[in-house]
Amino acid sequence: MKVDLTVEPLNSWIDTSGKPLIIAGPCSAETEEQVVETVRQLKALNAVHVIRAGVWKPRTRPGSFEGMGEAALPWLQTAKAETGLPIAVEVATPEHIELALKYDIDVLWVGARTTVNPFNVQEIADALRGVDVPVLIKNPVNPDLALWVGAFERIAGAGITKLAAIHRGFATGETSKYRNVPMWQMAIELKSIFPSLPIIGDPSHMAGKRAYLNELSQMAMDLNYDGLIVESHIDPDKAWSDAAQQLTPTAFGEMLDHLEIRQVDSPNREFQTFMEQSRRSIDNVDRQMVEMLAARMALVERLAEYKRDNNVTLFQPERWKEILQTRTETGKKLGLYPELVEEIYKIIHMESIRKQTEIMNNSTQNA
Ligand code: PEP
Ligand code: MN
């Protein structure tokens, strides 16, 4: 178990009047007019707290638009002076940090392609030592929780306390309707390691297409995320990067209006009683599940000893096939996804094999 980070709450650096933090802006700063006009329109929605804009764009392949660099920073200053909205940019090197701070950028974020590399993250952390600036850290491109955790430990280790995670989904190699598979459980696990860390959903980079922004934003809100970061551009189809996933500020405002933000809790007595009863029932079922697992494992152990004493091989593929098939079928009849039952049984089976191997090896030692 990791030690929780020292994290200041979001409202220590941004006032959202108790609402989820909304960060919006173009994927990339392209021209002064595009930046200033997008920010103007976002400001008019009266719902955006921070502006985002990519100035240095780490692209997976060369040849794509790699950002305007330092030239774009004065445009962001202009947009900020006009609207009063704080500005966030992505930084990937100590030089980016130096320039961002020189041009009064208010919030920095570490991109998914940087979080994957502990050398880069450490260089960024070293450059941030002694600086008091909010830093948002995107999940690494690949679903490796330890890289994300490590990035927080490095940046927090440099003394940064205004921290938040951005969950932008993962490249898993599997085909999905989304550009990056959300794998919501990864963000939930991060939160259980660092309970005080705010989590911001990035539906844009999860979706890859604007049609999915709504459902992904709603999901993040339903999971009680602390905010959203969404790409918005005055003319999305002509955007120089991530065109398919950007929304006009007007469309973004409409999406926000339709988001349902549910309460975390309700003061209603009836609701509280129902919650308590349900949780007790769930605790009860969970205890039974764990007891059943232990009972199953005891049977496996007895069988393994018997196999050992009769010189029978440990792993019998036919039996495993039958287990998988019958268990998923039973699950299906009870309304459970076959994939769920299959995944659970894969874990149970792995543990049975481990236990059985242990028993077999014991015999060799004892022989
Ligand atoms: C971005 O925010 O535009 C970006 C490059 O995102 P990511 O690091 O999540 O790919
Ligand atoms: Mn982008």
Q: What is the CATH number of the domain that holds 321?
A: 1.20.59.10
Q: Domain for residue 264, yes or no? A: no
Do residue 39 and residue 155 come from a single domain?
yes
Q: Is residue 367 very low, low, confident or very high in pLDDT (cuts 50, 70, 90)?
A: very low
Residue 112 Cβ contacting ligand 1 at under 6 Å: yes
Are 203 and 232 in contact by the 8 Å Cβ rule? The answer is no
Question: Which residues make beta-bridge pairs with 87?
Answer: 51
Q: Is the pLDDT of residue 363 over 90?
A: no
Name the residue at shortest CA distance from atom 6 of ligand 1: 111
Secondary structure E strands in 192-313: 199-201, 227-231
> Under DSSP, is residue 14 helix (H, G, I), strand (E, B) or coil?
coil
Q: Which of 51-55, 138-142, 259-263 has the lowest mean pLDDT?
A: 259-263
Shared domain check, 288 and 233: no
Q: Are residues 289 and 245 in the same domain?
A: no
Mean pLDDT, residues 108-129 taken together = 98
Q: Are residues 249 and 166 in the same domain?
A: yes
Nearest-CA residue for atom 9 of ligand 1: 112
How far is Cα 155 from Cα 137, in angstroms, rounded to an integer? 9
Residue 3 belongs to some domain of the structure: no
Contact 38, 233 (CB under 8 A): yes
User: Rounded mean pLDDT of 196-222?
Assistant: 97
Q: Under a CB-based contact definition with an 8 Å cutoff, are residues 187 and 165 in contact?
A: yes
For ligand 1, atom 2: residue with the closest CA: 27
**98 Cα distance to chain centroid:** 27
Class of residue 309 by CB neighbours under 10 A (exposed 0-12, middle 13-18, buried 19+):
exposed
The whole domain housing 286 covers: 269-366
Query: 290 and 191, same structural domain?
Result: no
Q: How far is the C-alpha of 129 from the C-alpha of 106, rounded, in Å?
A: 16
Closest-lying ligand 1 atom to the alpha carbon of residue 112: 8
The number of domains in the chain is: 2
CB 249 within 8 A of CB 234: yes
Contact criterion met (CB below 8 Å) for 203 and 220: yes
Q: From CA 11, how far away is CA 21, in angstroms rounded?
A: 9
Does residue 197 register a pLDDT over 90?
Answer: yes
pLDDT band, very low/low/confident/very high, at 315 (cuts 50, 70, 90):
confident
Q: Which ligand is nearest to the CA of 168?
A: 1
Do 240 and 285 have their domain in common? Answer: no
145/246 same-domain check: yes
Confidence at residue 60, expressed as pLDDT on a 0 to 100 scale: 80
- Ligand 1: which of 23, 113, 117, 200 to mutate, judged by most atoms within 8 Å of the beta carbon? 113
The model's pTM is 0.83
Tell me which of 258, 283, 307 is where a domain ends: 258
d(CA 95, ligand 1 centre) in Å: 19
**Helix, strand, coil percentages in the chain from 3-state DSSP, rounded to 5:** 55, 10, 35
Q: How confident is the model at residue 1 (pLDDT cuts 50, 70, 90)?
A: low
Q: How far is the CA of 112 from the centre of ligand 1 (A)?
A: 6
Q: Is the pLDDT of residue 214 over 70?
A: yes
Residue among 157, 181, 176, 153 at smallest CA distance from 165? 153
69: left (phi over 0), alpha (psi -120 to 50) or beta: left
**Residue indicated by tokens 């974020």:** 109
Look at residues 210, 205, 250, 209 and name the one whose alpha carbon lies nearest to residue 229.
Answer: 205
Ligand 1 pocket, mutate which of 90, 178, 200, 247 (most atoms under 8 A from CB): 90
* Furthest C-alpha separation in the chain: 82
Separation of CA 99 from chain center: 28
Predicted confidence (pLDDT) at residue 190 exceeds the cutoff of 60: yes
Across the range 255-282, mean pLDDT stands at 89
Question: Which listed ligand is nearest to 136 at the C-alpha?
Answer: 1
Q: From ligand 1's centre to the CA of 191, what distance in Å?
A: 21
Residues 6+ apart with CB under 8 A from 348: 293, 296
Helices (H), 8-72: 32-44
Does residue 193 share a domain with residue 241?
A: yes
Compute, in angstroms, the gap from residue 232 CA to the centroid of ligand 1. 13
Q: Are 110 and 91 in contact (CB under 8 A)?
A: yes
Radius of gyration of the chain (CA): 25
